[in-house]
Structure 1
Amino acid sequence: MTEAIGAVEADRALKSKHRKMWALGDYAAVAAQLIPSLGPLLVEACGVRAGTRVLDIAAGTGNAAIPAAATGAEVVAVDLTPELFEAGRRLAAERGAAVDWREGDAEALPFDDATFDTVLSCVGIMFAPHHQAAADELVRVCRPGGTVGVLSWTPEGFIGELFATMKPYAPAPPPGAQPPPLWGRGDHVRELLGDRVTDLDVWTGTLHVDRFVEPTQFRDFFKANYGPTIAVYRGLADDPTRTAALDNALDALAQRHLTASAGGMDWEYLVVTGRRVG
């Protein structure tokens, strides 16, 4: 009994930490300036259309929820970090898109079974620490015959390398927490979904990002705007030597990718879509 209570308290503390992390900086700027095309891409891959009921898990500022609503679908956007909703509501209003914003944990969604026709997540659910719990919820709230779709950064791509680069400078994750880029491996997602989802379509794509010309532009942008990067640097605030080492590591990462893709960076992602069995 005591162990169970301790596990619940530890999970609550972890989720609180995640919420605060994603509220840091300006994720709306990251979504709008770097990845605006990914949400519409996933919405199209899932075949979202007018009249369907859609859930966007770990929706952030609505990168997928807003284009889904623009099709005429009835869209609910759920996220652990409601601080992101203010920017999302503003963007939705500018697009004339109606989105229902709800606070909620991807691993314990506040919805009944089989509520939605389409359940999707664009570089969102991958950051839930317990992958199987999040995948179980994704499938649970989708109706039989409905569509599930997930777009995630791959371990081998730029964002996967970014997290690998920051890892030595960050606190060790708690037991049971899994690396986000695992969602960018097709075999991992297949295992998570199991036989509950059929007709899987699994493919990789590349996002060309031309926002940065010099490595320091990338580093400074992420240090100012991207919650996970900000959190790592805050943990190094009293250690200028390690801070400088992380600066150099991020610069080297950016330089490799800028050199490999003259005129910007190419960021690899994985898309998985399928049909809920039942």
Structure 2
Amino acid sequence: MTDTTSPDQTDADRALKTRHRTMWASGDYPTLASDLIWELGPRVVDAAEVRPGDRVLDVAAGSGNAAIPAALRGATVVASDLTPELFDVGRRIAAEAGAELEWREADAEALPFPDDEFDVTLSTVGVMFAPFHQAAADELVRVTKSGGRIALINWTPEGFIGQLFKTMKPYAPPLPEGAQPAPLWGDEQHVRELLGDRVTDVSAVRQTVVIDRFDTGEEFRDYFKSHYGPTIAVYNRIADDPEQVRALDTALAELGRTQGLDAPGGAMEWEYLLVTARVR
């Protein structure tokens, strides 16, 4: 197993990463990705203009919804993630699709790759969950060659997943000192500041993915309670407080309703920010 800790990590840093790995390994994120957002992978691959022969890194790749389409284009791909428990499903999907790629355990804030290693660095609603944004952004730039492309899809603060985290916040533990909320990666100005003048040709476009998997707010809530690591972690934290559990149950079902569920033919549109840039 790859050692993803860096020599200067503190015990608190290591404990935080262990909690994150456990969180994303809980539930069934690969099924959620397949059921709801698999199409985002090909979208970011298109935006990055991945070509045969490119060396591509997918950061926080999960089960590979961007890495696998990139490999199918003829690129040499490394799918990296802090949570290697997600790789088994990814390997199966890749084999069924006829895609060959490398799977590697890696912390987005301390990637185990040399400088200037990749022609393209991607992340699809992945790197945004690294708690220390500047460290993760620095790594994206560091491992990408001069003239290489970075392409990211991140949920926006105003969109559905941003509102999901806002709804869960009163029941969640406070962020560690220095950490920032994940949906900030969906704010254009924030991403521009993170990447700074090390990149050029920055494009940031808000788009949506249509989610028609759920008929009611309760159906959405129950699916996320059983599949989505961050939601599972919040419920685990309040499990001994029935009143808080009921309150969060109600709030999440209502969130689904406000986003179009419980109406005939109701569907949700989840907003994300698609960012592309070229390393100077």
TM-score range, shorter chain: over 0.9
Q: What is the rounded CA distance, in whole Å, between the counterparts of 1:56 and 1:162 in structure 2? A: 25
**What is the CA distance between 1:25 and its match in structure 2?**
0.5
* CA displacement 1:80-120 (0-9 Å, x = unmatched): 00000001101111111111000010000000000000001
Q: What is the rounded CA distance, in whole Å, between the counterparts of 2:275 and 2:267 in structure 1? A: 26
Is residue 272 from structure 1 mapped to residue 275 from structure 2 by the alignment?
A: yes
Change in 2 beyond 3 A, CA 1:84/1:259:
closer
Q: What is the rounded CA distance, in whole Å, between the counterparts of 1:259 and 1:211 in structure 2? A: 10
**What is the CA distance between 1:7 and its match in structure 2?**
6.7
**What is the CA distance between 1:254 and its match in structure 2?**
0.3
Q: Is the 8 A contact 2:217 2:262 kept in 1?
A: no
**What is the CA distance between 1:260 and its match in structure 2?**
10
User: Which residue is 2:119 aligned to?
Assistant: 117
Q: Following superposition of structure 1 onto structure 2, how do residues 122-161 of structure 1 map, counting pairs within 5 Å? A: 122-161=124-163
Q: Following superposition of structure 1 onto structure 2, how do residues 75-224 of structure 1 map, counting pairs within 5 Å? A: 75-224=77-226
Q: Is the 8 A contact 1:69 1:97 kept in 2?
A: yes
Q: What is the rounded CA distance, in whole Å, between the counterparts of 2:266 and 2:30 in structure 1? A: 24
**What is the CA distance between 1:263 and its match in structure 2?**
2.4
Q: What is the rounded CA distance, in whole Å, between the counterparts of 1:133 and 1:149 in structure 2? A: 17
Q: Is the 8 A contact 2:202 2:277 kept in 1?
A: yes
Is residue 56 from structure 1 mapped to residue 58 from structure 2 by the alignment?
A: yes
What letter is aligned with 1:14? L
What letter is aligned with 1:62? G
* CA displacement 1:200-219 (0-9 Å, x = unmatched): 11101011000001111100
Q: What is the rounded CA distance, in whole Å, between the counterparts of 2:44 and 2:173 in structure 1? A: 33
Q: What is the rounded CA distance, in whole Å, between the counterparts of 2:73 and 2:90 in structure 1? A: 17
3-state SS of 1:113 partner = coil
**What is the CA distance between 1:27 and its match in structure 2?**
0.5
**What is the CA distance between 1:259 and its match in structure 2?**
5.2
**What is the CA distance between 1:46 and its match in structure 2?**
0.3
What letter is aligned with 1:133? A
Q: What is the rounded CA distance, in whole Å, between the counterparts of 1:240 and 1:61 in structure 2? A: 34
Q: What is the rounded CA distance, in whole Å, between the counterparts of 2:162 and 2:237 in structure 1? A: 21
Q: Is the 8 A contact 1:76 1:100 kept in 2?
A: yes
Unaligned stretches of 5+ in structure 2? 1-6
Q: What is the rounded CA distance, in whole Å, between the counterparts of 1:70 and 1:244 in structure 2? A: 45
TM-score (normalizing by structure 1)? 0.96
What letter is aligned with 1:267? W
Is residue 237 from structure 1 mapped to residue 239 from structure 2 by the alignment?
A: yes
User: What is the aligned counterpart of 1:41 among 40, 43, 46?
Assistant: 43
What letter is aligned with 1:273? T
Q: Which runs of 4+ in 1 moved over 4 A?
A: 259-262
Q: What is the rounded CA distance, in whole Å, between the counterparts of 2:193 and 2:63 in structure 1? A: 29
Q: Is the 8 A contact 2:214 2:261 kept in 1?
A: no
3-state SS of 1:238 partner = coil
Change in 2 beyond 3 A, CA 1:7/1:96:
closer
Is residue 21 from structure 1 mapped to residue 20 from structure 2 by the alignment?
A: no
In percent, how many aligned pairs have the same letter? 62
User: Which residue is 2:4 aligned to?
Assistant: none
User: Which residue is 1:73 aligned to?
Assistant: 75
Q: What is the rounded CA distance, in whole Å, between the counterparts of 1:260 and 1:149 in structure 2? A: 35
Unaligned stretches of 5+ in structure 1? none
